[in-house]
C-alpha cells in the first residue's frame, strides 16, 4: 500500500504494458513453466492485477521468451513486483550462501580498495587509471567468480574479460576498466533490495562519469540487461549507451580477422534477451572465421539462467536441457557469450563430476581471441 | 545461519561443538588481544560456509576466527577439511574485495605448533 492506502501492486502490470484487454505473456514459451507448473506468467499478472503479491514470481529468469512484443516485458514487470512486494515472501534469495551478498555490502560501504585487475597483463591495453576514455568494459563479478570457483571448475571468468580487452584492442579501442567497479546489482533486484540496487547503480554511474565514459561494453548478457534495461528510470542520470561486446565489434567493423579452423561449434540462436536489437552479431562474426562450421541449438531455450539466488534444482535442469540441446548438434564445443551463463554451465558440469558433459563449454570471446589474428579489413556486415 | 549484528563484540568466533574455546585461554588472549568475541557453536566446523565467514566481515567484526578439530581428529572425518575449504574461499573473496586477510584466522585444535593450551 502507498501513503494514500492504494494498492501499488495492482497498478504495476498496467504500467508495464499488461493492461486489461492487452496481450498477456506467452505462457507456452516460458522455460520455467515447463518444470514448475505453478509458475504461469499470465496467472501471476492476474494475481498482481488483483492486488496480490504473485507468489513465486522470483522464479522468473528474466529471459524475455514470454514477452508478447516490443515495449512489453514480463521480466520488467516481475522486477517491479519483486521490488514492491518481495519482502512479503519472507525470504531473501542469497548468492553462494550469502558470500556474494557480503561482497556487495562491502562494495556499497566502499571502505576498501578492491583487487580486481590482477588479470590485466602487459600484452593488452587499457586506458590508464588517471585518464578518461569514451568506452568502458564492464567486468562485473568475474574476479569474484575466479576467487570462488576457478580452482573447482578449472576456468577463470576473467579470461573472458581478458579476451574482451584483446578484441577491443584489435578494433583500436583501449577500454576504461574501473578498478573500483561494483556489481551491476541484478541480484539485488531479485532479492527485493531496492536500496542496495540503487546504491550499487549510483556508485557505478559516478565512477563511469568520473572517467568520461559514454559507452559501456559488456561480456555478460546479464550485466548488459541490468545496465541497459533496469538502470534507466531507476538510477538518476544514467545516460550511457550499453552494448554487448559482440554487437560493438560488428558496429565498429574493420580490422577483425581470424585464422582458419575446422572446428564445429554450436551457438544459441539470438533472441530478445541476448540480441534485443536483432544485430545477429554472433552469427556475423563467426562467418568471418574461415572453415569454421557453426551449428545452432534449437530455439526456445533461455539465454539466461537468472540470478545466483535462483540456483536450484529447476535451474539445474534448465542448464542440463541447454547442454543436451548443444550435444544434439554434434558440435565439439558450445560457445557461450555471457560470463555468468558460462560460469553457471561450467560450475554445473565441473571437470571430473559425474555430470561431465561430452561437449566442451567455451566462452565466445575467449574463442574469438584464440583464433583472432592481426589483420586485414573486415566489413562487419 | 544468521550472523548476529555487531553490537559490543569486536570479533566473531565459529567453533566446533567438540572444541570449547575456554580450553584455549592463551589462544583467546593471543588472537583477540583481550577484545570480546561473539561465539557461535557449530555441530561440526565443516558446517561453516564461505557466506557466513564473509557476512562476519560485512557485519563489521574485526576478526573472523574458526576453531576446528584437526584434520585427523575430526570425528566426522571431513569437517576440518570442509571448514578449511570454505575458509580459503572466503579469504580469496575478501582479498579481491580489498579486505586485509589477516582478519581471518583458522585454528586447528590439534596443531602441534599451537602450543597455546
ipTM of the complex: 0.89
* Distance from C-alpha of A378 to C-alpha of A253, rounded to nearest angstrom: 6
* Distance from C-alpha of B13 to C-alpha of B30, rounded to nearest angstrom: 14
Q: What are phi and psi of B77, to 5 degrees?
A: 75, -55
Instruction: Output the pLDDT for position B114.
Output: 61
Q: Tell me whether residues B97 and A103 touch, CB distance under 8 A.
A: yes
Residue-wise pLDDT for A246-305, tens only, equals: 999 999 876 788 999 999 999 999 999 999 888 999 999 999 999 999 999 999 999 999
What pTM did the predictor assign? 0.92
Q: Which range, of A5-19, A352-366, B55-69, averages the lowest pLDDT?
A: A5-19
Q: Are A138 and A223 in contact (CB under 8 A)?
A: yes
B48 touches chain A (CB under 8 A): no
Scanning every residue of chain B, which has its alpha carbon at the shortest distance from the alpha carbon of A115?
A: B96
Instruction: Output the pLDDT for position A186.
Output: 93
Distance, in angstroms, between B27 CA and closest chain A CA? Answer: 27
What average pLDDT score do residues B17-43 get? 82
* Distance from C-alpha of A216 to C-alpha of A229, rounded to nearest angstrom: 13
What DSSP element (H or E) covers A334? strand A333-336
Answer yes or no: is pLDDT of A339 > 90. Answer: yes
Q: Are A308 and A98 in contact (CB under 8 A)?
A: no
> Dihedral, CA atoms, B116, B59, A201, B101, nearest 10 degrees?
-10
Mutate to test the interface with A, among B98, B99, B100, B102 (most CBs of A within 10 A): B98
Instruction: Output the pLDDT for position A113.
Output: 92
Going from N- to C-terminal start, the domains of chain A cover: 3-89, 96-249, 254-378
Q: Tell me whether residues A98 and B92 touch, CB distance under 8 A.
A: no
- CATH code that applies to domain A254-378: 3.40.50
Going from N- to C-terminal start, the domains of chain B cover: 11-108
Cα distance between the two ends of chain B = 29
Residue-wise pLDDT for A240-253, tens only, equals: 999 999 999 999 87
Cα distance between the two ends of chain A = 52
Strand order in the sheet with B63-68: B37-42, B11-16, B63-68, B104-108
Give the three-class secondary structure for B96.
helix
Answer yes or no: is pLDDT of A86 > 50. Answer: yes
Q: What are phi and psi of A69, to 5 degrees?
A: -175, 180
What average pLDDT score do residues A18-40 get? 90
Rounded mean pLDDT of chain A? 90
Mutate to test the interface with B, among A94, A99, A107 (most CBs of B within 10 A): A99
Map grid coordinates 585461554 to a residue: B25
Instruction: Output the pLDDT for position B72.
Output: 87
Which residue, A162, A188, A160, A175, is CA-closest to A214? Answer: A175
> Dihedral, CA atoms, A75, A78, A84, A90, nearest 10 degrees?
-130
What average pLDDT score do residues A154-176 get? 95
Q: Are A184 and A103 in contact (CB under 8 A)?
A: no
pLDDT classification of A5: cutoffs 50, 70, 90? very low
Residues of B with Cβ-Cβ distance to A161 under 8 angstroms? none
Amino acid at each position: 500500500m502507498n501513503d494514500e492506502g492504494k494498492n501499488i501492486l495492482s497498478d504495476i502490470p498496467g504500467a508495464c504494458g499488461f493492461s486489461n484487454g492487452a496481450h498477456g505473456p506467452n505462457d507456452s514459451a516460458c522455460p520455467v513453466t515447463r518444470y514448475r507448473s505453478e509458475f504461469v506468467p499470465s496467472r501471476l499478472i492476474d494475481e498482481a492485477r488483483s492486488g496480490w503479491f504473485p507468489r513465486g514470481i522470483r522464479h522468473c529468469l528474466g529471459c524475455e521468451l514470454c514477452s508478447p512484443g516490443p515495449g512489453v516485458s514480463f521480466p520488467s514487470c516481475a522486477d517491479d513486483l519483486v521490488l514492491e512486494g518481495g519482502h512479503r515472501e519472507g525470504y531473501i534469495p542469497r548468492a553462494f550462501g550469502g558470500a556474494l551478498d557480503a561482497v556487495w555490502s562491502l562494495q556499497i560501504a566502499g571502505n576498501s580498495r578492491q583487487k580486481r585487475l590482477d588479470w590485466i597483463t602487459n600484452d593488452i591495453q587499457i586506458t590508464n587509471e588517471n585518464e578518461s576514455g569514451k568506452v568502458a568494459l564492464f567486468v562485473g563479478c568475474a574476479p569474484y567468480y575466479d576467487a570462488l570457483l576457478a580452482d573447482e571448475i578449472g576456468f577463470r571468468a576473467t579470461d573472458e574479460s581478458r579476451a574482451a580487452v584483446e578484441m577491443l584492442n584489435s578494433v583500436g579501442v583501449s577500454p576504461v576498466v574501473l578498478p573500483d567497479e561494483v556489481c551491476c546489482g541484478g541480484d539485488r533486484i531479485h532479492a527485493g533490495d531496492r536500496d542496495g540496487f540503487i546504491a550499487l547503480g549510483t556508485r557505478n554511474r559516478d565512477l563511469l562519469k568520473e572517467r568520461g565514459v559514454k559507452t559501456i561494453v559488456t561480456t555478460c548478457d546479464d550485466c548488459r540487461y541490468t545496465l541497459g534495461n533496469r538502470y534507466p528510470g531507476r538510477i538518476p542520470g544514467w545516460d550511457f549507451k550499453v552494448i554487448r561486446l559482440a554487437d560493438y565489434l560488428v558496429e565498429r567493423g574493420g580490422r577483425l580477422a581470424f585464422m582458419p579452423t575446422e572446428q564445429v561449434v554450436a551457438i544459441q540462436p539470438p533472441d530478445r534477451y541476448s540480441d534485443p536489437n536483432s544485430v545477429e552479431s554472433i552469427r556475423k562474426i563467426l562467418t568471418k572465421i574461415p572453415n569454421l562450421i557453426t551449428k545452432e541449438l534449437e530455439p526456445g531455450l533461455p539465454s539466461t539462467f537468472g540470478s545466483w539466488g535462483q540456483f536450484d534444482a529447476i535451474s539445474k535442469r534448465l542448464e542440463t536441457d541447454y547442454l543436451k540441446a548443444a550435444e544434439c548438434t554434434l558440435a565439439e564445443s558450445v560457445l557461450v557469450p555471457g560470463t555468468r551463463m558460462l560460469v553457471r554451465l561450467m560450475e554445473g558440469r565441473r571437470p571430473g563430476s559425474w555430470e561431465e558433459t561430452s561437449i566442451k563449454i567455451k566462452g565466445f570471446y575467449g574463442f574469438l581471441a584464440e583464433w583472432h589474428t592481426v589483420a586485414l579489413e573486415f566489413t562487419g556486415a | 545461519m544468521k550472523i548476529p549484528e555487531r553490537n559490543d563484540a569486536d570479533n566473531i568466533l565459529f567453533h566446533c561443538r567438540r572444541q570449547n574455546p575456554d580450553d584455549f585461554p592463551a589462544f583467546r588472549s593471543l588472537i583477540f588481544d583481550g577484545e570480546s568475541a561473539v561465539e557461535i557453536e557449530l555441530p561440526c566446523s565443516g558446517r561453516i560456509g564461505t557466506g557466513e565467514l564473509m557476512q562476519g566481515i560485512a557485519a563489521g567484526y574485526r576478526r573472523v576466527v574458526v576453531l576446528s578439530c584437526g584434520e585427523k581428529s575430526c570425528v566426522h572425518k571431513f569437517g576440518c577439511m570442509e571448514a578449511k575449504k570454505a575458509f580459503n574461499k572466503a579469504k580469496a573473496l575478501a582479498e579481491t574485495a580489498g579486505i586485509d586477510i589477516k582478519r581471518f584466522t583458522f585454528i586447528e585444535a590439534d596443531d602441534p605448533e599451537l602450543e597455546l593450551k
